[in-house]
Chains A and B, each alone.
Chain A
C-alpha cells in the first residue's frame, strides 16, 4: 500500500513560476515505490487542479491548455480521511478521486509560504511537510524573523521597519531617521517577499527614496538595513525538526549585479541565458562548496542549526548568511522555510540524494502529526454528562450553588 503524497504548488504569489519548477523537480525525485505522487496545482485564482500533465514543466507553457487536461478538485475531511474530490461532481459515480495521506507543499512566497497553505492543511487534519503555521509566518516576514533571531541571541544586522504609508506622509522625517541610524549604502526590502523581488540598494538620499518607493509598491511594510560592503554571501541548508537537525554543504551564490537578483537566481545570470530558467535555483551560478576556511564553515553550520531551531522550522530550510570580510563578522540575513528546489543541490553535495531528502521530509511530517495527536485526549464518562444539577461541573456549578 503506497503512501498518497499530494504535492501542492503554485499559488497567488510572485514566485508562482518558481514553485512550478521546484515542484516538478521534487515530484521526479520522490520514491515511486513507497509513495504515490498526486500533483495538486493552485492557480493564481486559488483554484485547485490535479492531473498527470502537471508534473511536466513544459506543459505550463500554455496554462489554459494545461487546465483543460486537468481535473478541478477540492479538499474535504470526511470520516477521519482527507479526500480530494472532483468539482463539479459528476451525475453518477463517486466524486472521491483519492485520499491524501500527507501533503508536500512546494510553494514560495506570500499567500502560500507564509502559513496560509499550512493553515489550510491544519484545518483539514492533513499532515504536511515543511514548517508549521507559525514558523512559516515568521519566516515570511523579514522584520519579525529578525526580531525572533535577535531574541534568540543570534547575530543579525540592525534594521528599521516602517509602514509604506509613513514614507508618503512624512518623507523627509523618515529619510532623516534612516540616515541617523545607518550609513550609506543601505539596502531596502519589502518585508514579505522572496526571490529578491523589490529589493534595491541606495547610496544616497535620492536613490534611497527610489528604493523605498520600489519596495513600497510590493508591500505595506518596508525594511531598511545597512549594507555590508566587503561582502561574501554563504548559504547553508538544514534538514530536521525541533529535536534533530543535520546540515548540508555550504554554497556561495555568485552575483552578476550589485545584489543577487531574480535573474541571477533563476535565469542563470547574464552569462548563461535561456534554457537555464527551467532549472530553478539549481541553475543559478554558485561556488559549491563555498570558498571559506573550515572553522568559518563550522561556525556557519552551527548558527544555521540554531536559527532553524529558534524559528521552530521543520523539513528543509535554507539559511542565507552575510559575511563581513572587513571584520570577519557573520550575520544571518534570512531563513527560507521552503527553499527553491528544496536546495537539493546543496544536499547532493553532502551525499544526501534528492530521493532520500524527500523521504526524510515526509517521515518528519508524519512524525509531527503523531506528536500532535499524542497531545489531544479528553473524555468524560457519559453518566456525568447527564448529571448537571449536582455540582459536578466544579467551580462553574449549577444555578443556586454556593461555595
Chain B
C-alpha cells in the first residue's frame, strides 16, 4: 500500500511540475501582466476536466468496493502519467529563468494550494484516500487561475522591490555627474541604432549600453545596478514603449542629455491604438531632453517625424532620395547608396560640400539611416569622420536584424527574425530583391498590429510577390492574408507553401535547395519575423 501511495505521489509530482512550469513560463514571457497571460490562457484546453471525470468514476468504483485500494491508487497514477504525456514537451525559444520573482511566485502558489486544499477538505469532509485525489484534480483544473491569483497577491511586494531598485539606480546615476546619457527610441530601428552608436562612440569613449531586450524601466534599472561603473563616460539607454507614458517613465529615471528617435510607425498598435499616441509617446524623449537643453537627433526620412516641430535643438539626419534637395531637409545625410550581398557603400554629407565615403557589411537602407544617426551623434561628441570610417567598416550586423549569416549551408540565410513591422518588412524584401539568385521568403506574418493587422499583412504579401521567387508561410491563420496579397499581385500559387511550424518551414527550404538547378542559384532565404513562443499554431 505504501508503495502505491509513493508511486501516486511521484507521478503526481511529475505531472504537476510540467504543468506548473509551463504556466509560470507563460506568465514570465508575458512580463507578469495578468491581462496578457489571461489572453493566452483562455484559449488553452485543460485536460484536467477529463481527469476529473475519470477520477470520479474510479473513486465511485472504489467506494463500492469494486476495486481494491491498491488498484485504485494505481489507476490514478496511470491517469497522472497519461496527462503528463498529453501536456506535450513544450518548445521554448526563450527558456524559463528561475528569478527571485519566480521563486516568490511559487511560494505564494504553494501556500494558496495548501489553503485551498484544506478548505475543500473541510467543505466536503473528505476522507483521506478516495476523495483527496478528486480535490487535487479540482486544484489542477484551476491551476492557471491560481497562478494568476498568486501573481496578483505578490504584486504589492514586487512593486516595492522595484521601487527600491529604481531609487538605488537613480542614486548611482547622481554619483556620476559627468556621465552623458543618450536615449534612443523609435517604433523600429532602435536596437540597431543602439548597437551602431555603441560601436562608433567606443572609438573615443568608454560606453555602456542597455543590453538586448532590456528596454523597459526595470531593465534599465538593472543595467545601472549591475553594469555601470566608474570608467563609463557615456550611457546609451534604449527605450521601448507599448503605452503612453512608458518613455516618460524611463526618462524620469535616467534624465537623458541627448536623444535619438529612429522612426515612428505602426508597431504595437494593439496597445497604442492610434498612431498619434505612438507619436506622443516617442516625443516624451524629446521633452525630457529638451528640458535639459539637450539636442535631439531625428530621422527626417520618416514622414511623421518631419511633421513634428520642436523648439529645442535638433539635428536632422537621413538618406537623401535623389529627388529633393538634401540641404533643405537634413543636417547630416547619406547619398549614393548602393547595396549588394556583401553589404552597402554610401557617402556621408554635410552642408558646405563636406562628403566622405563609407563602407559597411550591414544590409538595407534602414541600416544606413541608423549609421548616419550614429555618425551624427559621434561627431557632436567630438569624434572625427575619419576615425569613424574604420569603425563603420567593422560593424557587425545585429543578430536577427537583416543579418547575413556567414556560414551558409545549401542556402544563405538573411536572418530578420525580430518583431517585423510593416516598414521593416517591406525594406527586408526589397533588400532580398537586390540579391541575384533564387530568393525565398519564410515568414509567419506580422503580429501586434491591432485592427490593421490583416490589411497590413495582405500588403506585405503584395510586396513579397515583387521580390521573391518562393514564399513559405508559417502557420495558417496569420499567413492567410499574406497569401491573398501575393496571389492578388500575380504570384503563382504553386510557389507558396504553408508550413506547420518553423521547423517544417526550414525543412521545406532545404527541399527547395536540394531541387535547385545550378543556374538558378545561389539560394537566399529571408527569415522575416520571429515566432513568439505563445502564438505557435497547430
Residues of chain A touching chain B, judged by Cβ–Cβ distance below 8 Å, are 1-4, 36, 79-81, 99, 101-102, 366, 370, 373-374, 377, 379-384, 386-387, 390-394, 397
Q: How far is the CA of A373 from the CA of B202 in the complex (A)?
A: 10
Q: Known contacts being A101-B229, A381-B527, is A390 close to B409, with CB within 8 Å?
A: yes
Does B371 sit at the interface, judged by CB under 8 A? Answer: no
Q: Interface readout for B195-234 with A: 1 if CB under 8 Å, 0 if not?
A: 0000100100011000000000000000000111111000
Q: Are A387 and B229 in contact (CB under 8 A)?
A: no
Per-position binary interface string of chain B over residues 63-96, scored 1 when its CB falls under 8 Å from any chain A CB and 0 otherwise: 0000000000000000000000000000001000
Let me know if B405 is at the binding interface, CB within 8 A: yes
| A374 contacts B202, C-beta separation under 8 Å | yes
Q: Are B527 and A383 in contact (CB under 8 A)?
A: yes
Smallest CB–CB gap between B397 and chain A, Å?
9
Q: How far is the CA of A379 from the CA of B404 in the complex (A)?
A: 11
The 5 closest A-B pairs by CB, nearest first: A379-B399, A3-B230, A391-B409, A1-B230, A392-B409
Partner of A390 from the list B408, B506, B527 (CB cut-off 8 Å) is B506
Q: CB distance B93 to A374 under 8 Å?
A: no
Residues A386 and B202 in contact, CB atoms below 8 Å apart: no
Task: Identify 14 new A-B residue pairs, CB closer than 8 A, beyond the known A102-B231, A381-B413, A390-B409.
Answer: A1-B175, A2-B230, A4-B229, A79-B226, A99-B229, A101-B229, A370-B206, A379-B399, A380-B405, A384-B405, A387-B503, A390-B506, A391-B510, A393-B409
| B231:A3 contact, CB within 8 angstroms | yes
Q: List 5 A-B contacts (CB under 8 A).
A: A36-B230, A366-B206, A380-B399, A380-B405, A394-B407
Given A387-B503, A390-B507, A393-B409, A381-B415 contact (CB < 8 Å): yes
Bound complex: CA A101 to CA B396 (Å)? 26
CA distance A392 to B405 in the complex (A): 11
Contact with B502, one of A101, A383, A390, A397 (Cβ below 8 angstroms): A383
Which chain B positions have C-beta within 8 A of A377?
396
Using Cβ atoms and an 8 Å threshold, which residues of chain A touch B230? 1-4, 36, 101
Give the Cβ gap from A386 to chain B, nearest Cβ, in Å.
7
Chain A hits for B93, CB < 8 A:
382-383
Task: With both chains docked as a complex, state the minimum distance between the C-beta of B59 and any C-beta of chain A, in angstroms.
Answer: 43
Nearest CB of chain A from residue B377's CB, rounded to whole Å: 17
Determine the chain B residues whose CB is within 8 A of the CB of A382 once the complex forms.
93
B413 to A374, Cβ gap below 8 A? no
Please determine whether A1 and B229 come into contact, CB atoms closer than 8 angstroms.
yes
Contacts of B407 in A (CB 8 A): 393-394
Query: With a CB–CB cut-off of 8 A, which chain B residues contact A381?
Result: 399-400, 405, 413, 415, 417, 527
- Smallest Cβ distance from B421 to chain A, in angstroms? 19
- Interface residues as binary, B163-184 with A (CB distance below 8 Å gives 1, 0 otherwise): 0000000001001100000000
Take A381-B417, A387-B503 as given contacts and tell me if A370 and B399 are in contact as well, using a CB distance cutoff of 8 Å: no
Cβ-based interface call for B394 (8 A): yes
Q: Which of A373, A379, A386 has most chain B Cβ within 10 Å?
A: A379
Assembly CA distance A393 to B410 (angstroms): 9
Which residue of B has the minimal Cβ distance to A80?
B227
Bound-complex Cα distance A99 to B226 (A): 11
- Docked-complex contact A384 and B229, CB < 8 angstroms: no
CB distance from B116 to the nearest CB of A (A): 38
A373 to B400, CA, bound (A): 20
Chain A proximity mask over B224-259: 1 for CB below 8 Å, otherwise 0: 001111110000000000000000000000000000
Q: Which of chain A's residues have a CB closer than 8 A to the CB of B405? A: 380-381, 384
List B contacts of A102 (CB < 8 A): 231
- A374 vs B231: C-alpha distance in the bound complex, in angstroms? 17
Count of interface residues, chain B, beta-carbon cutoff 8 Å: 34
- B394 pairs with A374, CB closer than 8 A: yes
**In the complex, which residues of chain B have a beta carbon less than 8 angstroms from the beta carbon of A397?**
409
Shortest distance from the beta carbon of B346 to any chain A beta carbon, whole Å = 21
B227 CB, min distance to chain A CBs, angstroms: 6
Bound-state Cα–Cα, A386 to B503, Å: 9
A79 to B225, CA, bound (A): 12
For the complex, give the distance between the alpha carbons of A23 and B527 in Å: 56
B416 to chain A, nearest CB (A): 10
Contact (Cβ within 8 A) A1 B506: no
A232: shortest Cβ distance to chain B, in Å?
Answer: 41
CA distance A379 to B527 in the complex (A): 16
Q: Nearest-CB distance from B5 to chain A (Å)?
A: 40
Residues in B neighbouring A370, C-beta threshold 8 A: 202, 206-207
Asked if B231 and A366 sit within 8 Å, CB to CB, the answer is yes
Contacts of B175 in A (CB 8 A): 1
A374 contacts B227, C-beta separation under 8 Å:
no
Q: Which residue of A lies closest to B195 (CB)?
A: A377
Q: Looking at the complex, which one of B231, B413, B510 makes contact with A101 (CB distance below 8 Å)?
A: B231
Q: Please measure, in the bound complex, the distance between the C-alpha atom of A370 and the C-alpha atom of B405, giving whole angstroms.
A: 25
Residues of B376-410 contacting chain A, CB below 8 A: 391, 394, 396, 399-400, 405, 407-410
Interfacial chain A residues near B527, Cβ < 8 Å = 381, 383
Q: Would you give the shortest CB distance from B211 to chain A, in whole angstroms? A: 10
Closest to B207 in A: A370
**A375: nearest chain-B partner, CB-CB:** B394
Give complex CA distance A3, B527 in Å. 44
Residues B91-131 near A (CB distance < 8 A): 93
B502 touches A391 (CB 8 A): no
Q: Which residue of B lies closest to A99 (CB)?
A: B229
Most chain A beta-carbon neighbours within 10 Å: one of B199, B226, B231, B502: B231
B229, B405, B417 pick with most chain A CB within 10 angstroms: B229
Whether the Cβ atoms of B176 and A1 lie closer than 8 Å is yes
- Provide the residues of chain B in CB contact with A2, threshold 8 Å: 230
From residue B192, how far is it (CB to closest CB) to chain A in Å? 14
Kindly state the separation between the CA atoms of A36 and B172 in the bound complex, as whole angstroms.
16
Known: A1-B176, A2-B230, A3-B231. A383 touches B506 (CB 8 A): yes
Contact call B229/A394, Cβ cutoff below 8 A: no
Chain B nearest CB from A246 CB (Å) reads 18
Q: Which chain A residue shows the least CB distance to B507?
A: A390
Quick one: which of B228, B410, B415, B503 contacts A391, CB cutoff 8 A?
A: B410
Most buried by B among A3, A4, A392, A393: A392
Q: Which of chain A's residues have a CB closer than 8 A to the CB of B399? A: 379-381
CA distance A80 to B503 in the complex (A): 34
In Å, the complex CA distance between A79 and B211 comes to 14
B173's nearest neighbour on chain A, judged by CB, is: A1
Q: Give per-residue flags for B409-435: 1 if the beta carbon is below 8 A from chain A beta carbons, else 0.
A: 110010101000000000000000000
B510–A390 touching, CB < 8 Å: yes
What residues on B are CB-neighbors of A4 within 8 Å? 229-230
Distance from B99 Cβ to chain A, minimum over Cβ atoms (Å)? 14
Specify which chain A residues have a CB less than 8 angstroms from the CB of B413 in the assembled complex: 381, 384, 392
Closest Cβ of chain B to A132, distance in Å, is 18
- Residues of the B chain whose Cβ atoms lie less than 8 Å from the Cβ of A386: 503
Residues of B within 8 A of A379 (CB): 399
Q: Could you tell me the distance in whole angstroms from the C-beta of B414 to the nearest C-beta in chain A?
A: 11
CB distance from B411 to the nearest CB of A (A): 9
Question: What is the CB-to-nearest-CB distance from A391 to chain B, in angstroms, rounded to a whole number?
Answer: 4
User: Which of chain A's residues have a CB closer than 8 A to the CB of B228?
Assistant: 1
Distance A101 CA – B231 CA, assembled complex (angstroms): 7
